[in-house]
Amino acid sequence: MAHPSSHRQREESFVRRGLWGGATVLALVAGLAPGAVAVAEEQRAPAPLERLFDNRAISDDAAPGEADFDGSGSSLSAQDLAAAGWTPGRSLSVDGTRLRLPRTGPGERDNVRADGQSVQVRGRGEALSFLVAGTGGDASGAGRVRYRDGSSSAYRLTAPDWRSGPLATKAVALPHVNTADGQLAEKARLYVVSVPLARGREVASVELPRDPGAADLHVFAVSVREPARGWTGSWSASASGYTAVGPWTDRTLRLVVHTSAGGPRVRIQLANTFASAPVRIGAASVAVQGAGAGARSEPVALTFRGERGAEIPAGAQVFSDPVDFDVPADTNLLVSFHLPGTVSAAPVHSQAIQKSYVSEGGDHTGATDAGAYTSTISTWPFLAGVDAGGDEQSVVLLGDSITDGVKSTPDANRRWPNVLARRLLDQDGVPAYGVLNHGISANRVVTDRYPGDGVSTDTGGVSALHRLERDVLAQTRARTVVVFEGVNDVRWGAKAAQVTAGLREIAARAEERGLRTVAATIAPCEGEALCTAAADAERQAVNEWIRTSGIYDAVLDFDAVLRDPEHPTRLLPAYDSGDHLHPGDAGLAALGESIDLGLL
């Protein structure tokens, strides 16, 4: 008979690979021949993920030797995870997918090293999301999704390395790495990575990737991102950075946002993007704006999973429960939420081009009058989206400051996305899609301005490539993405080939998820300090590629709309805000009016 230790080694190997289940393991441990049990279970019947856990990634700071995530004795800190709000068994939402963290304690098996195991997963949706990290480098491998109708689809999953992967795409970053020799002041990361599903089919199981190379691909959780049935995206904004605020203690924020589509119900999304600690929301409400911070009628209270408030873990988001509320189209709303604790830094959208309000102390979410709101802000902290009840899909506009509305008249909603939204509402030739503005001032296609972690004064956002999942693919009922970026890349020295490679990747990833793709040519900017002749040459090369490559489903020639026919490298003077880079109200209106709605 083989030595008992050899049985244990075989047991862990087969459980990790998902070949044998519990009955076979018991047979092996008892020293019995698996026989017919092994024959049956070699078909790799799907098992819950937690039954396949074979690795210990998380240790208590007082006993770091109880876990070995990477094979060299290093691990994640349980205390750091708790400080971020990532506690065992907690269900949290990242990029629109609800994932449940392992219900295990420090030093217990809490993840599986992917090697073709078959995992029970249920649901219908547009994507499958994995909570993952690589060890020994970025880990990549091919897997397969199996559906209830007997069909299947292949996918490829890459898990960035837990110590060296990009901070810009991490779900959460922790301040330490535990080792047997002590704690290192080094960032550890976990990632949520999504892959496409066949739309309309019900998932039955998932085969994890095989052969990730020299690295190990660790999976902590997996779940289907379910579609937002019955909702239309009416308003949203990107987190452009994580900045110092206030500090606010026991204050209510009353943010002013402008709808596109309307409907009979509402929900909001609050996000703690880029954060390292949770934030507590004490209460929230929504109302139609009257004058200033005053509501037209009594605000309607919102709940979160039946509670008045919610805690948002670092890097996560919460959606309010659906509530009956007539969301008017093309109208300003007041979204109010109480911050009962002290908030000294927050994820913000920096260029709101809209005045919002901060109260004196206390919960003033239910106030109709403006009396308690004694100060103003020009950013949108925490608020990531407003959805209206409806059946229409959404058009997502991925852009930079021109899409953001910089140099448009403040508080007037004259951004070109607002113009487009009004045109959609005023016609019946195509559906009145929701319009979601994901422009970020100073944003680039291929380079991060904000690094994606920590408090910073830079609010240029992570690159369009790094924010694509959160700001486009995970948006409510996204149908079409319009990409209007690249001028900041070439102004800061990027070559056309770099920009077009990024635009090509955006198109490929969006089309993989079933989105229609539209690219807009880059507008001229001669006369602005960084718009040199060399930069313009790169701009024109990018535009030539956009017009002729055929990579995108449609092209909007914004360059042709805005340029001066007598001096094509400059903005038409009537459209120039005065800085030679940003169109003013007239130029933004021209962009919005130029779009063939049938291309969306």
Whether pLDDT at 12 is above 60: no
Alpha helices in 416-458 (DSSP H): 416-425
Residue-by-residue DSSP string for 508-527: HHHHHTT-EEEEEPPPP-BT
Q: Are 579 and 531 in contact (CB under 8 A)?
A: no
pLDDT in tens, 416-437: 999 999 999 999 999 999 999 9
DSSP state of 45: -
CA-based diameter of the chain, in Å?
90
Same domain, 146 and 214: yes
Q: Are 389 and 263 in contact (CB under 8 A)?
A: yes
Same domain, 154 and 256: no
Give one word for 18, left, alpha or beta, with left for phi > 0 and alpha for psi -120 to 50. left
**Structure confidence at residue 214 as a pLDDT band (50, 70, 90):** confident
Position 44 scores a pLDDT of 66
**Structure confidence at residue 18 as a pLDDT band (50, 70, 90):** very low
Distances (CA, A) of 334 to 91, 150, 293, 495, 568: 29, 48, 8, 43, 42
Same domain, 55 and 29: no
Number of structural domains, the chain?
3
Share of the chain above pLDDT 70, in %: 92
Q: Per the structure block, which two tokens stand in for 179?
A: 């080792």
Position 260 scores a pLDDT of 98
pLDDT in tens, 94-151: 999 999 999 999 999 999 999 999 999 999 999 999 999 999 999 999 999 999 999 9
Contacts 24+ apart (CB under 8 A), 596-600: 597/423, 597/424, 597/427, 597/429, 597/430, 598/429, 598/430, 599/518, 599/553, 599/554, 599/556, 600/395, 600/430, 600/433, 600/479, 600/480, 600/482, 600/516, 600/518
Q: Are 587 and 571 in contact (CB under 8 A)?
A: yes
Place of tokens 């979160």: 304
Top pLDDT among 11 and 114 is at 114
pLDDT in tens, 486-534: 999 999 999 999 999 999 999 999 999 999 999 999 999 999 999 999 9
Same domain, 12 and 149: no
What mean pLDDT comes out for the span 269-285? 98
Top pLDDT among 32 and 45 is at 45
Has this prediction a pTM greater than 0.85?
Answer: yes
Position 213 scores a pLDDT of 74
Q: Are 563 and 393 in contact (CB under 8 A)?
A: no
What is the torsional sign of CA 235, 241, 246, 251?
A: positive
Whether pLDDT at 580 is above 70: yes
What is the C-alpha to C-alpha distance for residues 301 and 281, in angstroms, rounded to an integer?
Answer: 13
Count, in order, helices (H) and strands (E) of the chain: 12, 36
What mean pLDDT comes out for the span 265-281? 98
Please choose, from the candidates 484, 394, 385, 389, the residue with its C-alpha nearest in 3D space to the C-alpha of residue 444: 484
Place of tokens 């004064």: 457
Same domain, 52 and 41: no
**397 belongs to a structural domain:** no
How buried is 182 (Cβ within 10 angstroms: 0-12 exposed, 13-18 middle, 19+ buried)?
A: exposed
Same domain, 189 and 245: no
Mean pLDDT of the chain, nearest integer: 93
Whether pLDDT at 20 is above 70: no
Position 42 scores a pLDDT of 38
Distances (CA, A) of 554 to 405, 549, 596: 23, 11, 10
**372 belongs to a structural domain:** yes
Position 447 scores a pLDDT of 98
Position 211 scores a pLDDT of 75
pLDDT in tens, 457-486: 999 999 999 999 999 999 999 999 999 999
Instruction: Output Rg (C-alpha) for the chain, integer angstroms.
Output: 25
What mean pLDDT comes out for the span 384-413? 98
Same domain, 163 and 253: no
Same domain, 126 and 155: yes
The residue out of 200, 225, 250 marking a domain boundary is 225
What mean pLDDT comes out for the span 209-236? 93
Position 23 scores a pLDDT of 35
**284 belongs to a structural domain:** yes
DSSP state of 321: P
Position 197 scores a pLDDT of 97
Please choose, from the candidates 142, 153, 139, the residue with its C-alpha nearest in 3D space to the C-alpha of residue 204: 153
**233 belongs to a structural domain:** no
Share of the chain above pLDDT 90, in %: 91
Q: Which residues contact 103 (CB under 8 A, 6 or more apart)?
A: 50, 88, 89
**Does residue 589 sit in helix, strand or coil?**
helix
Position 34 scores a pLDDT of 43
Same domain, 86 and 179: yes
Top pLDDT among 35 and 584 is at 584
Whether pLDDT at 17 is above 90: no
What mean pLDDT comes out for the span 338-352? 98
Residue-by-residue DSSP string for 247-275: EEEEEEEEEEEE-SS-EEEEEEEEE-TT-
Whether pLDDT at 83 is above 70: yes
Place of tokens 């852009």: 399
Position 43 scores a pLDDT of 44
Same domain, 37 and 174: no
Position 266 scores a pLDDT of 98
Print the domain residue range for 370: 240-305+317-327+336-344+355-377
Same domain, 287 and 359: yes
Position 533 scores a pLDDT of 98
Whether pLDDT at 38 is above 60: no
Position 31 scores a pLDDT of 44
Position 527 scores a pLDDT of 98
**484 belongs to a structural domain:** no
Q: Which residues contact 453 (CB under 8 A, 6 or more apart)?
A: 167, 168, 170, 173, 187, 242, 274, 276
Q: Which residues contact 333 (CB under 8 A, 6 or more apart)?
A: 235, 256, 257, 258, 259, 286, 287, 288, 289, 327, 386
What mean pLDDT comes out for the span 274-285? 98
How buried is 1 (Cβ within 10 angstroms: 0-12 exposed, 13-18 middle, 19+ buried)?
A: exposed
Whether pLDDT at 13 is above 70: no
**503 belongs to a structural domain:** no
**136 belongs to a structural domain:** yes
Same domain, 159 and 30: no
**429 belongs to a structural domain:** no
What mean pLDDT comes out for the span 215-243? 97
What mean pLDDT comes out for the span 365-376? 98
What mean pLDDT comes out for the span 58-72? 97
